[in-house]
Amino acid sequence: MKRSRQELCPEIVEVPLFDSRPSRSAIHPATVYICPSTGHADERLGGRQPGYVYQRDGHPNADILSEKCRRIHNAPRAVITSSGMSAITLGLISQIEAGDHVLMSNRLYGRSLALVDQELGRFGIAHSVVDMCDLQAVNDSIQANTKMLVVETISNPTLRVVDLQSLANLAHESDALLMVDNTFASPIVCQPFESGADLVVESLTKIMNGHGDVSLGLLCGTDASWDRVEYALSTWGWTSGPFDCWLAERGLSTLFLRMTSACKSAFEIANFLSKAGGVESVLYPGLAVHPDLEIAKRQFETHQGEPLFGNIVTFLLSDSTQAAADRFIQQATDIPFCPSLGDLVTTLSHPLSSSHRTLSVESQKDLAIFPGTIRLSIGLESPEFIQEAIKKGLAGLDF
Ligand SMILES: *Cc1c(COP(=O)(O)O)cnc(C)c1O
When the pLDDT of each residue in the chain is averaged and rounded to a whole number, the result is 96
Distance 12 CA to ligand 1 centre (A): 39
215 lines ligand 1 (CB under 6 A): yes
- Residue 186: pLDDT over 90: yes
109 lines ligand 1 (CB under 6 A): yes
Q: What is the pLDDT of residue 1?
A: 66
Confidence of residue 14 (pLDDT cuts 50, 70, 90): confident
347 lines ligand 1 (CB under 6 A): no
Distance 85 CA to ligand 1 centre (A): 6
- Residue 302: pLDDT over 80: yes
- Residue 357: pLDDT over 90: no
Q: What is the pLDDT of residue 9?
A: 74
Distance 198 CA to ligand 1 centre (A): 19
What's the mean pLDDT in 151-163?
Answer: 97
- Residue 352: pLDDT over 70: yes
Confidence of residue 353 (pLDDT cuts 50, 70, 90): very high
Instruction: Report CA Rg, the chain.
Output: 23
Q: Mind listing the pLDDT tens digit for each residue in 15-69?
A: 888 999 999 999 999 999 999 999 999 999 888 999 999 999 999 999 999 999 9
Best residue among 85, 86, 116 to mutate for probing ligand 1's pocket (most ligand atoms within 8 Å of CB) is 85
Cis peptide before 291 (omega within 30 of 0): no
Lowest mean pLDDT among 8-12, 86-90, 183-187: 8-12
Euclidean distance between CA atoms 51 and 156, whole angstroms: 40
84 lines ligand 1 (CB under 6 A): yes
Distance 277 CA to ligand 1 centre (A): 33
- CB contact at 8 A, 157 and 355: yes
225 lines ligand 1 (CB under 6 A): no
Higher pLDDT, 10 or 342: 342
Which residue's alpha carbon is at the smallest distance from atom 2 of ligand 1?
A: 203
Which residue's alpha carbon is at the smallest distance from atom 15 of ligand 1?
A: 183
Q: Mind listing the pLDDT tens digit for each residue in 234-265?
A: 999 999 999 999 999 999 999 999 999 999 99
Best residue among 206, 209, 240 to mutate for probing ligand 1's pocket (most ligand atoms within 8 Å of CB) is 206
Map 49-88 to HEC letters.
CCCCCEHHHCCHHHHHHHHHHHHHHCCCEEEEECCHHHHH
Confidence of residue 360 (pLDDT cuts 50, 70, 90): confident
- CB contact at 8 A, 314 and 159: yes
238 lines ligand 1 (CB under 6 A): no
Q: What is the pLDDT of residue 210?
A: 98
217 lines ligand 1 (CB under 6 A): yes
Q: What is the pLDDT of residue 146?
A: 98
85 lines ligand 1 (CB under 6 A): yes
Tell me, what amino acid is at 342? Answer: G
In percent, how much of the chain has pLDDT > 70?
Answer: 99
342 lines ligand 1 (CB under 6 A): no
Compute CA 160 distance to the chain's CA centroid, rounded to the nearest angstrom: 16
Q: What is the pTM of this model?
A: 0.96
Q: Which atom of ligand 1 is nearest to the CA of 152?
A: 13
Euclidean distance between CA atoms 191 and 258, whole angstroms: 17
